[in-house]
Structure formats: structure tokens, C-alpha cells
Amino acid sequence: MNRTMLAAIAIALLSSGCVVRASGPRAVIVAEPVPPPVVVAPQPVYVAPPQPVYVTPTPVVIQPPLLVAPPRIVIVPGTQVYTVPTASYNVFVYGGQYYSYHQGTWFHAPRHGAAWTPVAVAAVPVQVRNVPAKHWKVPPPEKAAERERNCPPGHAKKGEC
């Protein structure tokens, strides 16, 4: 190899980041890799986890079915309250107003065909709330216990109470 070629190789190696050393009577190029750069990583920063977020679900209120036509009503004996025997849910009529206890919520409608509006228990007339348990389709918990107590033996299993 001639000197020009060795010089060109040396320049190429130097420009690539290698260290060139000549040793012995003949020039021998030994390329040593450059050590990698020292990387100083910053100290980790510990951050407290975010506070948990608790979301209270909005209760879903399912209204009773709408009474499209005037229903056939029957008076509850010993009261001034009427019930709708053909409905599959609790419907009571008192003072021309409709009341329904449906899935744990009281509802009121001013007439048949009107939309049901959820109401507080205090807004339901006492006469409606005091209808005996045997006249309820699906009694509230306090009426269910009364219904079971007053059911003749053997009738509860048949679904007659």
C-alpha cells in the first residue's frame, strides 16, 4: 500500500470517530472504537397517583305503562279508592286522580292517557297507601309482609295471595 492510500484511510478512520495508531516499522493502522458517550439520566420524579373519581350513577326510573283508554275500575271494599283489575301493575284511582306504585316509586297521572310523574310518598293520599295488601298486584315491601301474614294456608303457593 502506498503512503497516499494509508493517509486516506487514516483520514477516513479519524473522521469516523476512530482512534488511529501507527506502530512498528511499517505503518499498521489499528482502529479502536471510541467509547460511547456518558449519558446522565435525570433522577426519576415520583408523582402521587391521581385521586380516585367516584361517580354516583343516576337512578333509572321506569314509568308504568300509559293508560291509553279509560280502564275498567272496581272499588276496593271499605274505601273510596278504585283499582284497575285488568292492569298487570298497581293502578289506583282516588278523587279522579290516578296513582301507581311501580318498581319502588310512586307515580301520579291526572287522568288516563296522561304521562306518569314520579311523586314523593307524602304526595300520595293516605287512603291509597292504606289499600289492603290483597288488592295490590305487586305490593311494596311493607305490604308484602302483611299479604303473607293474611294469606290462608296453601294459597300463597298457588299465587292466590
Q: Where are the domains of the chain?
A: 3-32, 74-149
- Residue, of 138 and 156, whose pLDDT is higher: 138
Mean pLDDT of 17-32: 60
Q: How far apart are CA 106 and CA 98, in angstroms?
A: 11
- The reply to whether the predicted model has a pTM over 0.95 is no
Closest CA to 93 of 118, 79, 117, 143: 79
Render pLDDT for 41-64 as a digit per residue (tens, 0 to 9).
888 889 999 999 998 888 788 889
Render pLDDT for 59-115 as a digit per residue (tens, 0 to 9).
788 889 988 899 999 999 999 999 999 999 999 999 999 999 998 899 999 999 999
Q: Are 107 and 63 in contact (CB under 8 A)?
A: yes
